[in-house]
Amino acid sequence: MSSGAQNLAALEAKASTGAVEAQFELAVVLDRLGRRDEARSWLERAASAGHPPALNLAAMADLQGLEVPRNIPQAIERLRRSVASGSSAARRILAAQTAIGTLDEADWPGGMSLLIAAGQARDPIALRELALLVEMASPGSALAEDLLLRAGLMGDGLAAFAILRRQASGRVLAAEEYCSQWRAGIARFNHPLAASVANVAPIVSEIAPKLPHGELDWQQIEALLATPPGIAASTGVALSERPLLRRFDGLLSAEECDYLIGSVARLMRPAEVVDHENRRTVKSRARTNSVGVLWPVNQDMVIHAINLRLAAVAGLAPENGEMTNILMYRHGEQYLPHYDFFPVEAARADPSGQRIRTLLVYLNTDYVGGDTKFLTAGIMVKGNVGDAILFHNCDAAGGPDKSSLHAGQPVLGGQKWLLSKWYRETRFVPWGPG
């Protein structure tokens, strides 16, 4: 028997005695080995015993609805049990689901209360989320930088990346000894934008950056984040009447664009298109890029706040939005001319109705080619970082507008990152995971 098999047998023997930590560890190992049914069984045993990480993982599975049927009430109940056991991770997950309205009505204050509680418990991911939310509410805030630095020093990779990006623009937050460690870690874990911070020259300042100390001003944080921050009210600039096309410059900050890319990196998969007949997604030669789908289970409070801003620009309720897609196009990849609207009969049969609007946000600019081309209007668009375009897929009467034919031109160099969001006539009812 190999050493690996011996270790697994020993772990199984220990788990069989009722050792909860061993049960959870065994579930993780079996899942990695592809023995999913056995893994789920051991995970359920650990969760039933009240093991917080097992409760969290089981709740995520309930929310996703992939290997087990979606069971949102059970997921929320598991998360609440985990919170009662002191799990900051459960607080963060439950915070986002509360704010989104997964179980009840969307409740931003309730979600924020949970996230702040996780931050007060010194959870680095919660501190990072709070940092970006405070930055939305008060750009350039010293409080946001304090939160961000605390998260980075506690080992949060996305916070560290944000600090390095700020250092590159001359905003010195941390000494080089920390920055060099962060650069190495970001490269080691294959952050998709690692190259952008790899060769930043150390910034020498006459005044050494101070490390965070003392208690944070939680009352100020609560006041700043009492309502969703950064909701845009711009009507944009008209680019075309057919299709109805508007441009919104700087809808997202560069830091928010980086955050979306970093958050979705582990979720990237080959892109697919909708097969209306079988109500599923399939691969297509017309679309050759990769996509990461931010289902509710993958969202945090920062991404939810961004979704609220996108909905405000689209002029529709947030719940009408499909899942946020982050697209990545490599050299030669493209999306051939297509419509975003559904065939009329398919739209009538769909409980969410027609795809009436599309919002695209350009997340980077360091690529060649890749313009968005509107064939009828004869318009080519390539936005700066954070710029967005909104176009209507239907005409004033609600019918499909064939002037909305558009394409993602081939990328000729570098990688193109793009946020894509479709909006429906009514509340979106997902038929995929999440």
| pTM more than 0.85 | yes
Q: Which residues pair with 325 in a beta bridge?
A: 293, 420
* The pair of three-digit structure tokens given for residue 318, joined into one six-digit string: 């947030």
Q: How far apart are CA 173 and CA 200, in angstroms?
A: 14
Paired sense of beta strands 237-241 and 244-248, if any: antiparallel
Architecture of domain 3-107: Alpha Horseshoe (1.25)
For CA atoms 37, 42, 47, 49, the dihedral sign is positive
pLDDT tens across the length of the chain (434 residues): 577 777 899 999 999 999 999 999 999 999 999 999 999 999 999 999 999 999 999 999 999 887 788 899 999 999 999 999 999 999 999 999 999 998 889 999 999 999 999 999 999 999 999 999 999 999 999 999 999 999 999 999 999 999 999 988 888 888 888 999 999 999 888 889 999 988 776 666 556 577 787 899 999 999 999 999 998 778 899 999 999 999 999 999 999 999 999 999 889 888 766 655 555 555 666 677 899 999 888 999 999 999 999 999 999 999 999 999 999 999 999 999 999 999 999 999 999 999 999 999 999 999 999 999 999 999 999 999 999 999 999 999 999 999 999 999 999 999 999 999 999 999 998 744 44
Q: Give whole-number Cα distances, 364 to 9, 65, 333, 358, 426, in Å.
A: 49, 33, 16, 19, 31
- Block residue for tokens 């970006």: 132
* The pair of three-digit structure tokens given for residue 17, joined into one six-digit string: 């005695």
Paired sense of beta strands 411-414 and 406-408, if any: unpaired
From its phi and psi, is residue 101 left (phi > 0), alpha (psi between -120 and 50) or beta?
Answer: left
* The pair of three-digit structure tokens given for residue 362, joined into one six-digit string: 């350009």
Range 237-424 has CATH code 3.40.50.720: no
Nearest to 201 by CA among 238, 164, 236, 227: 164
**Prior bond of 410 cis (ω within 30°):** no
